[in-house]
């Protein structure tokens, strides 16, 4: 892609920050959406919960990427925090989609965040993008989240959803909590370890988003996960091999439920999700296996 102007919401987060750095390094102009008055030419003021976007700042953007929202795994799911998770994603997406639709000169593409939480508990069943939504807080959130982008799609803007898996990174997200434990020799499986974890390296996550920005004709949902999801037990063993540490410990399911509350269901639950549409479109993963992803992190 030639030098482009790309707006990124959530540029202070793990994925958004990595995406912004990658785009900037390749000479693109990144416009960051900020929740305060803009202080520089590369900032745009917005209020996701208030459904406000300074649309003038989006003028001339070739693409808009929305990765904003409070971290799902950052804290225990109280009713208040679940409301915050939902508002940031659903209302924020609606605000951006409506702002995009209102522009005379609209961007070519709107890439919006989503998650493999869309599918809920899959057990051993493999789920690609054709699988239905599950039930529970995260699946219902993802359905609303994606539906909120309708104004942009209906205005003729190509709209793609990034259904992200567990991002393997030492810099943030759930995996950043695992690395210190495993390095200290305290790592181990969670529950019985038979639940599938669908992971993706941070490198491949950013590459997939850029691929969706650059590749005309790609719209709708895309699972961004490595091609072969593994069980928690298999991932635990791989972490031990790469970090040269024992993995004797086990975190019992009741303990996880006590500490994490409702969120424990997603840690102990199984999500065997595959990136069928990305692979069929020609995307290549740099780190398709867990050991490579862990080493990259």
Counting Cα atoms < 13 Å in the Cβ hemisphere of 189 gives 15
Q: Which of 150, 157, 145, 13 shows the shortest CA–CA distance to 92?
A: 145
- Render pLDDT for 89-118 as a digit per residue (tens, 0 to 9): 999 999 999 999 999 999 999 999 999 999
CATH topology of domain 5-296: Rossmann fold (3.40.50)
| Token digits of residue 105 | 């000169």
Q: Where are the alpha helices (DSSP H) in the chain?
A: 14-25, 79-86, 92-102, 137-147, 150-154, 173-183, 202-214, 232-243, 253-260, 264-268, 276-281, 290-296
The residues spanned by each domain of the chain are 5-296
Task: Look at residue 293 and tell me whether its pLDDT is greater than 80.
Answer: yes
- Mean pLDDT (the chain, rounded): 91
pLDDT at 277: 98
Task: Look at residue 255 and tell me whether its pLDDT is greater than 80.
Answer: no
Q: Which of 19, 190, 9 shows the shortest CA–CA distance to 110?
A: 9
Query: In degrees rounded to 5, what are phi and psi of residue 141?
Result: -60, -45
Task: Look at residue 176 and tell me whether its pLDDT is greater than 90.
Answer: no
Task: Look at residue 257 and tell me whether its pLDDT is greater than 60.
Answer: no
In percent, the amount of the chain with pLDDT more than 90 equals 74
Query: In degrees rounded to 5, what are phi and psi of residue 270?
Result: -110, 130
Compute, in degrees rounded to 10, the torsion defined by CA atoms 217, 219, 221, 223. 30
| Residue 111 contacts residue 209 (beta carbons within 8 Å) | yes
For residue 163, give the H/E element and its range: strand 158-164
**Would you list the DSSP string of 192-250?**
TS-SEE-EEEHHHHHHHHHHHHHSTT--EEEEES-SS-EEHHHHHHHHHHHHT----EE
Q: What global pTM score does this model have?
A: 0.94
pLDDT at 85: 86
In percent, the amount of the chain with pLDDT more than 70 equals 92
- Render pLDDT for 179-199 as a digit per residue (tens, 0 to 9): 888 898 888 888 888 999 999
- Render pLDDT for 52-78 as a digit per residue (tens, 0 to 9): 999 999 999 999 999 998 777 666 668
| Token digits of residue 122 | 């899959």
pLDDT at 251: 67
């Amino acid at each position: 892609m030639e030098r482009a102007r790309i707006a990124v919401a959530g540029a202070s987060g793990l994925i958004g920050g990595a995406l912004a750095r990658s785009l900037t390094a390749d000479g693109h102009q990144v416009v960051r959406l900020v929740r305060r008055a803009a202080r520089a030419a590369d900032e745009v003021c917005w209020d996701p919960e208030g459904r406000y976007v300074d649309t003038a700042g989006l003028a001339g953007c070739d693409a808009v990427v929305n990765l904003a929202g409070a971290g799902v795994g950052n804290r225990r799911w109280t009713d208040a925090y679940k409301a915050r998770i939902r508002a940031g994603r659903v209302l924020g997406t609606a605000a951006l989609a409506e702002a995009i639709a209102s522009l005379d000169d609209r961007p070519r593409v709107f890439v919006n965040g989503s998650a493999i939480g869309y599918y809920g508990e899959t057990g051993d069943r493999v789920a690609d993008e054709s699988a239905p939504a599950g039930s529970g807080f995260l699946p219902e959130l993802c359905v609303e989240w994606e539906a909120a982008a309708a104004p942009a799609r209906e205005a003729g803007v190509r709209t793609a959803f990034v259904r992200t898996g567990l991002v393997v990174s030492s810099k943030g997200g759930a995996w950043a909590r695992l690395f210190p434990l495993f390095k200290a020799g305290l790592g181990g499986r969670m529950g019985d370890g038979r639940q599938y974890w669908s992971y993706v390296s941070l490198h491949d996550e950013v590459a997939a988003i850029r691929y969706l920005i650059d590749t005309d004709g790609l719209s709708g949902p895309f699972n961004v996960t490595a091609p072969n999801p593994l069980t928690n037990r298999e991932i635990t063993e791989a972490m031990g091999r790469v970090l040269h540490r024992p993995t004797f410990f086990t975190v019992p399911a009741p303990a996880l439920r006590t500490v994490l509350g409702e969120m424990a269901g997603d840690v102990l639950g199984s999500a065997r999700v595959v990136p069928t549409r990305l692979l069929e479109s020609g995307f290549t993963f740099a780190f398709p296996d867990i050991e490579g992803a862990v080493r990259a992190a």
